[in-house]
């Protein structure tokens, strides 16, 4: 069977199943192209949590990583929230274990805790406010200047927010394996080959790589930027899944992803890429695997998420 036919068949199956189960399929920009193409909605972490809060569907299939699906479940405790592969975690979220974070927080009792959404439900439950890379700068600016702040778990995003806001943040030292992997040498080589290009980057990249960047923003802001820019070429310092949407929005422009150190293809998020079309079909058929969170943690974690949604509306 030619691949396009099996793709069409999978699409038909998914369409029938999502109707039968009253399900909505939400996908992050870092998912494989074919998953983005069958999703009801594609977005960044903030847009996806907004969609999760608005949906009338009974079942949410979250094509992203664990903390994203977990956030959707915290917002919708009475809905069925599925993730095609339960092992789709996040190195950044794993970099902030609950017990160590509790101790860190206890040593700064007067601090207001702002956590990046890329963290576990337990860390969210210990936080005062959640942010995403889309709204972190705006939200930090809303906190009174005399209030000391802990920012967790991403040190790179935190440092960038410090530079943007002029606020000193007490940073948890976590990072993302994907955004720390881009090769400086490959980036400079690409720039030399395409001198008429812009370097655009996600703020989870290291300070060194951000220093070369012409524009820095969340996945949705990068997507908006390439549509507004008069330039034709972009070197993209984030997970290359986003390039699929960039090419759809701007088919006549050119996008270059940056390989990892040693030329490896580790610029793809290994967690995000665990989800597949076959696993989506399976999870719609069986309504498994489901996200389950204990009630107390879920209730505590909901408060700072709600606050974020209110403040960033």
List interacting residues with ligand 13P (CB under 6 A): 44-45, 118, 132-134, 176, 202, 204, 218-219
For the CB of residue 134, give the shortest distance to ligand 13P in the complex, in Å.
Answer: 6
- Specify the stretch interacting with ligand SF4 by CB under 6 A; choose among 55-63, 84-92, 182-190, 287-295: 84-92
Residue 120 or 133 having the CB closest to ligand 13P: 133
Other CB atoms within 10 Å distance of the CB of residue 140: 22
Site string for ligand SF4, 180-219 (x = CB under 6 A): ------------------------x---------------
Instruction: Judge if the upstream peptide bond of residue 289 is cis by omega within 30 degrees of 0.
Output: yes
**Residue 133 binds which of ligand SF4, ligand 13P, none (CB < 5-8 A, kind-dependent):** ligand 13P
Does 118 bind ligand SF4 (CB under 6 A)? Our answer is: yes
DSSP-assigned states of every residue in 193-221: HTTTEEEEE-TTS-HHHHHT-SEE--HHH
Whether the Cβ atoms of residue 301 and residue 121 lie closer than 8 Å to each other: yes
Q: How many CB atoms lie under 10 A from the CB of residue 42?
A: 26
Distance between CA 267 and CA 239 in Å, rounded?
6
**90 forms part of the interface with ligand SF4 (CB under 6 A):** yes
Interface residue with ligand SF4, options 44, 198, 239, 257 (CB under 6 A): 239
The two structure tokens encoding residue 132: 């995403």
Site string for ligand SF4, 252-271 (x = CB under 6 A): -----------------x-x
* Signed CA dihedral, 81, 25, 84, 224: sign only: negative
Pairing of strands 59-63, 80-82: parallel
Contact call for residues 293 and 70 (beta carbons, < 8 A): yes
Q: In terms of CB distance, is 79 or 271 closer to ligand 13P?
A: 271
Interface with ligand SF4, residue 95, by CB under 6 A? no
Please give the residue ranges that form the binding site for ligand SF4 (CB under 6 A). 65, 90-92, 118, 176-179, 204, 239, 269, 271-272
């Amino acid at each position: 069977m030619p691949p396009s036919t099996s793709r069409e068949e999978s699409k038909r199956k998914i369409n029938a199943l999502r109707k039968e189960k009253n399900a909505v399929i939400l996908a992050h920009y870092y998912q494989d192209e074919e998953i983005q193409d069958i999703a009801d909605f594609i977005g960044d972490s903030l847009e996806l949590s907004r969609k999760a809060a608005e949906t009338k569907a009974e079942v949410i299939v979250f094509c992203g990583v664990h903390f994203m699906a977990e956030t959707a479940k915290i917002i919708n405790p009475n809905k069925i929230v599925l993730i095609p592969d339960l092992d789709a975690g996040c190195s950044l979220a794993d970099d902030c274990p609950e017990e160590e974070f509790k101790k860190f927080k206890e040593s700064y009792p007067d601090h207001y805790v702002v956590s990046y959404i890329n963290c576990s439900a337990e860390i969210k439950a210990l936080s005062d406010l959640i942010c995403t890379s889309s709204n972190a700068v705006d939200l930090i600016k809303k906190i009174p200047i005399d209030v000391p702040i802990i920012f967790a778990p991403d040190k790179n995003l935190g440092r960038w927010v410090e530079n943007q806001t002029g606020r000193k943040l007490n940073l948890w030292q976590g990072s993302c394996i994907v955004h720390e992997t881009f090769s400086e040498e490959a980036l400079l080589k690409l720039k030399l080959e395409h001198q008429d290009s812009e370097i655009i980057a996600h703020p989870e990249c290291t300070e060194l790589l951000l220093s070369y960047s012409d524009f820095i923003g969340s996945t949705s802001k990068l997507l908006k930027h390439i549509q507004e820019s008069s330039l034709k070429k972009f070197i993209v310092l984030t997970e290359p899944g986003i390039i699929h949407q960039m090419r759809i929005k701007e088919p006549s422009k050119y996008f270059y992803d940056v390989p990892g150190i040693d030329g490896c293809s580790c610029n793809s998020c290994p967690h995000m890429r665990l989800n597949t079309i076959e696993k989506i079909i399976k999870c719609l058929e069986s309504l498994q695997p489901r996200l389950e969170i204990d009630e107390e943690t879920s209730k505590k974690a909901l408060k700072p998420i709600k606050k974020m949604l209110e403040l960033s509306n």
